C-alpha cells in the first residue's frame, strides 16, 4: 500500500531544497475536515526558514506541484497546502491491501530477529488479584501482541511477587490466627483476611514485625517449615490467579517470580562488591546514588535479607544472558518510577552497555472512591468479581436479544464481551492517567466501549453472511464515491501507522481510540447506505469495504486482547 505522506514529502523535497523528505514528512498532517483535503502541509514553520509568510509559501508551492496520478488537486488555503487524493486510486489501493492481507493487515516485519522482553501483571502471592492489577496485565498483554504483530519476538514474563518480608508476615499470621482447614476452604480470600489481621495486630504489638522479618530470614536460609508454608501459599494463589488469566485469555512465556532469582543473587552481590559499588550504611549494604540526585539503592538489609532492587538487578542480568533482548520493558505503576531509575542506574554503573535497553512503562494509580487501594487494609475490588459481574450482565442482554441461541455459544459470547467491556474500559484511558474505579462506568456497554466495537464487528460478519456470496477482489473502486464510504476508507488506511504509533509510544489506548473511530465511521456508512443492493457491481464493491472493516476491527481487537465475536 502506498505511503501517501512519503509520496507527498518526496514531491515537496524537490521544490523545498532547504528540507529533506524526512523532515517534511514529520510536518504533514491529516486534516480533521475532509473539505480541507486528505493531507496538509502547515507552512507556518517554513516561514522562519524561507523568510516569507505562510500564505505566500503555500500559494507558491501550490503552483509548483507537478502532476501525479495519486493526487487529484492541490489547494493553498490560509497558510496550509492541502492535497486531495485521487479517490478511485486511493480506494482501490487501500481496500485491495486490506483484503489481500486479511488478518495480517497492519502487520509489518520491522522487528524481525529482535527479542522484546515484557514484564507485566506480576501479582503478589497470597494477595487477591484485584482491579489494580488489571492495568499492568491489560497494558502488558496488549504491548506483547503489538510487538509480535510488528515482527518482534515478544517474551512475556509474569514476575510473580513470591518472595520478601510479606511472607514472613503471612507465616506469623497463619500461626496466630489461621488454620489448615480455613486456608484450604477459603483460599486466597482467607490468606488476605489473616494478612489484614496481621497489620491490625502489629499496630498494637510492633514485635510482630520483628517476628515476621525473622521468618523471612529463615526462608532465605532454607528453613524447611518456612519454605513448606511458603510453597503452600504459592500453590493456592497460582490456582486462583489462573482462573483470572483463563477469563482474560492470557498466557505467559515465563512465570519465573522473585524466588527464581534467590540462588542467582549471591554472584551479582559479589560483582557489585568487586566493582566497588557497595557501601555499608547503618549495617545495610547500599549503592550510593547521591551524585545522581537519587536516594541510595538498598541491596542488603542489616538483617542480611535482600530486597526488590537486588532481585530486579539479578533478573535483568539473567534475562539479557538468556534472551539477548533488544528491549526489556517493565509495566508497573508510576509510583515505582524512582525504584526503576535507581536500579537502572546501578546496572549502568556495573558497566553493562545495555542499560539503556531497560524501559519502565508507568501507568496511573487506580483508586477506589478516591482512596488508594490497600490490600493490608482490605480495601480492594477483586478482578474476578468484576469480570463475573460483566459476564453476567452481558449474558442477560444476549438472552433477551437471542433467546434461541445455543446455550454454550451464548455463554462464550458473554465471556468475550463481558471481559471485553472491562479490558477496553481500562485501555481506553491514556495509561499514565489516574483511574477511579466505578462499577457504573466499567459495566456501561453504551457509547465508546468494547462491546460497541465488538458488536460492529459482528454486524460486518452478519452482512457478509447475508450476502450469500464471496467478495470478488476485483471490485469496481469507481463505484465507492460517497463521503461516508471515503471516510471509512481513509480511516482504514491509517491502521498500519496507528499500530506503529502504539508501539513507539508504548500506548495501547491509541488502538482503542482508533477502533471506536472506525466503528463509528462504519456505522455511519451502514445507516446512510444500503449494502445488499440489486446492482451486483455496487454490492460487491460495498461488501469489499465491509470485509476490509471486518479484518481491521478483528486485528485491532486482537491487539488489545479482545475477542471478535461473529454474532451477538
Pairwise CA distance, residues 248 & 424, whole Å: 12
- Active-site residue, 127 included: yes
Q: Which residues contact 28 (CB under 8 A, 6 or more apart)?
A: 5, 8, 9, 39, 40, 41
Angle at 28 between CA 22 and CA 33, to 5 degrees: 165
Residue 44 has pLDDT above 60, yes or no: yes
Q: What is the model's pLDDT at position 166?
A: 87
Q: Could you say which of 130, 169, 393, 550 is catalytic?
A: 130
Average pLDDT on 36-65 reads: 92
- Short-list 546, 527, 534, CA closest to 480: 546
For the stretch 158-191, pLDDT in tens is 999 898 888 999 999 999 999 999 999 998 889 9
The x, y and z cell numbers of residue 96, run together, are 485491495
Q: Could you tell me the domains of the chain?
A: 4-85 (3.30.1360.70), 115-263+325-377 (3.40.50.620), 384-431+438-559 (1.10.730.10)
Q: Could you say which of 127, 159, 327, 393 is catalytic?
A: 127
Phi/psi of residue 172, nearest 5 degrees: -60, -45
Q: Which residues contact 52 (CB under 8 A, 6 or more apart)?
A: 60
Q: Could you say which of 25, 133, 327, 457 is catalytic?
A: 133
Specify the pTM: 0.91
pLDDT confidence band for 445 (50 / 70 / 90): low
- Active-site residue, 133 included: yes
Pairwise CA distance, residues 384 & 418, whole Å: 12
Phi/psi of residue 158, nearest 5 degrees: -100, 95
Average pLDDT on 101-114 reads: 96
DSSP 233: H
Average pLDDT on 333-348 reads: 96
- Active-site residue, 379 included: no
- Short-list 101, 67, 96, 62, CA closest to 82: 62
What does the radius of gyration of the chain's CA atoms come to, in whole angstroms? Answer: 28
Residue 409 has pLDDT above 60, yes or no: yes
For the stretch 258-292, pLDDT in tens is 999 989 999 999 999 999 999 999 999 999 999 99
- Short-list 427, 350, 522, 342, CA closest to 142: 427
pLDDT confidence band for 309 (50 / 70 / 90): very high
pLDDT confidence band for 368 (50 / 70 / 90): low
For the stretch 382-408, pLDDT in tens is 788 888 888 998 898 888 888 888 888
Residue 195 has pLDDT above 60, yes or no: yes
Average pLDDT on 81-85 reads: 95
How deeply is 184 buried, as exposed, middle or buried, from its count of CB atoms within 10 A (0-12, 13-18, 19+)? exposed
Length, in residues, of the chain: 568
C-alpha pair distances (Å), 447 with each of 83, 280, 403, 433, 551: 33, 58, 24, 20, 22
Q: Please tell me the least confidently modeled range out of 120-129, 142-151, 371-380.
A: 371-380
Average pLDDT on 422-439 reads: 84
Q: Which residues contact 312 (CB under 8 A, 6 or more apart)?
A: 339, 343
Residue 112 has pLDDT above 90, yes or no: yes
**DSSP string of 483-527, one letter each residue:** HHHHHHHHHHHHHHHHHHHHHHHT-THHHHHHHHHHHHHHHHHHH
Pairwise CA distance, residues 363 & 376, whole Å: 22
Tell me the pLDDT of the chain averaged across its residues.
92
Residue 57 contacts residue 76 (beta carbons within 8 Å): no
Amino acid at each position: 500500500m502506498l505511503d501517501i505522506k512519503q509520496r507527498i514529502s518526496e514531491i515537496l523535497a524537490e521544490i523545498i531544497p532547504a528540507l529533506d523528505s524526512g523532515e517534511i514528512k514529520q510536518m504533514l498532517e491529516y486534516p480533521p475536515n475532509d473539505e480541507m483535503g486528505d493531507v496538509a502541509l502547515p507552512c507556518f514553520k517554513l516561514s522562519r526558514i524561507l523568510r516569507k509568510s505562510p500564505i505566500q509559501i503555500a500559494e507558491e508551492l501550490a503552483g509548483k506541484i507537478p502532476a501525479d496520478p495519486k493526487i487529484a488537486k492541490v489547494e493553498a488555503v490560509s497558510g496550509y497546502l492541502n492535497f486531495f487524493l485521487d479517490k478511485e486510486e486511493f480506494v482501490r489501493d487501500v481496500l485491495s491491501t486490506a483484503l489481500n492481507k486479511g488478518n495480517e493487515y497492519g502487520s509489518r516485519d520491522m522487528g524481525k530477529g529482535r527479542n522484546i522482553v515484557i514484564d507485566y501483571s506480576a501479582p503478589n502471592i497470597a494477595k487477591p488479584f484485584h482491579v489494580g492489577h488489571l492495568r499492568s496485565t491489560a497494558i502488558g498483554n496488549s504491548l506483547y501482541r503489538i510487538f509480535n504483530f510488528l515482527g518482534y519476538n515478544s517474551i512475556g514474563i509474569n514476575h510473580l511477587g513470591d518472595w520478601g518480608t510479606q511472607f514472613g508476615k503471612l507465616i506469623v499470621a497463619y500461626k496466630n490466627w489461621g488454620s489448615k482447614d480455613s486456608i484450604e476452604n477459603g483460599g486466597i480470600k482467607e490468606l488476605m483476611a489473616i494478612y489484614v489481621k496481621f497489620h491490625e495486630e502489629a499496630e498494637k504489638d510492633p514485635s510482630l514485625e520483628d517476628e515476621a522479618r525473622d521468618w523471612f530470614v529463615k526462608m532465605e536460609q532454607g528453613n524447611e517449615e518456612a519454605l513448606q508454608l511458603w510453597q503452600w501459599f504459592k500453590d493456592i494463589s497460582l490456582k486462583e490467579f489462573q482462573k483470572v488469566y483463563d477469563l482474560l485469555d492470557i498466557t505467559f512465556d515465563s512465570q519465573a517470580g522473585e524466588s527464581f532469582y534467590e540462588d542467582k543473587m549471591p554472584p551479582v552481590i559479589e560483582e557489585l562488591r568487586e566493582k566497588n559499588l557497595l557501601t555499608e550504611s547503618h549495617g545495610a549494604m547500599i549503592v550510593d546514588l547521591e551524585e545522581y540526585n537519587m536516594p541510595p539503592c538498598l541491596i542488603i538489609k542489616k538483617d542480611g535479607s535482600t530486597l526488590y532492587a537486588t532481585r530486579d538487578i539479578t533478573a535483568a542480568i539473567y534475562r539479557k544472558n538468556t534472551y539477548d533482548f533488544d528491549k526489556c520493558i517493565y509495566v508497573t505503576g508510576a509510583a515505582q518510577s524512582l525504584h526503576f531509575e535507581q536500579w537502572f542506574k546501578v546496572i549502568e554503573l556495573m558497566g553493562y552497555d545495555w542499560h539503556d535497553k531497560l524501559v519502565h512503562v508507568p501507568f496511573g494509580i487506580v483508586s477506589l472512591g478516591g482512596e488508594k487501594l490497600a490490600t493490608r487494609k482490605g480495601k480492594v475490588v477483586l478482578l474476578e468479581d468484576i469480570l463475573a459481574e460483566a459476564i453476567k450482565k452481558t449474558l442477560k442482554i444476549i438472552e433477551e436479544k437471542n433467546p434461541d441461541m445455543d446455550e454454550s455459544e451464548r455463554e462464550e459470547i458473554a465471556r468475550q464481551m463481558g471481559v471485553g467491556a472491562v479490558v477496553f474500559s481500562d485501555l481506553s484511558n491514556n495509561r499514565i492517567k489516574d483511574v477511579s474505579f466505578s462499577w457504573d462506568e466499567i459495566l456501561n456497554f453504551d457509547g465508546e466501549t468494547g462491546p460497541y466495537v465488538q458488536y460492529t464487528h459482528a454486524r460486518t460478519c452478519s452482512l457478509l453472511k447475508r450476502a450469500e456470496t464471496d467478495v470478488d477482489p476485483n471490485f469496481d473502486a469507481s463505484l465507492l464515491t460517497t463521503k461516508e464510504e471515503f471516510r471509512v476508507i481513509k480511516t482504514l488506511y491509517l491502521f498500519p501507522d496507528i499500530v506503529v504509533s502504539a508501539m513507539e509510544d508504548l500506548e495501547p489506548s491509541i488502538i482503542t481510540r482508533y477502533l471506536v473511530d472506525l466503528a463509528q465511521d462504519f456505522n455511519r456508512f451502514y445507516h446512510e447506505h444500503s449494502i445488499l443492493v440489486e446492482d451486483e457491481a455496487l454490492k460487491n464493491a460495498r461488501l469489499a469495504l465491509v470485509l476490509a472493516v471486518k479484518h481491521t476491527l478483528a486485528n485491532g481487537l486482537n491487539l488489545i486482547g479482545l475477542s471478535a465475536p461473529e454474532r451477538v
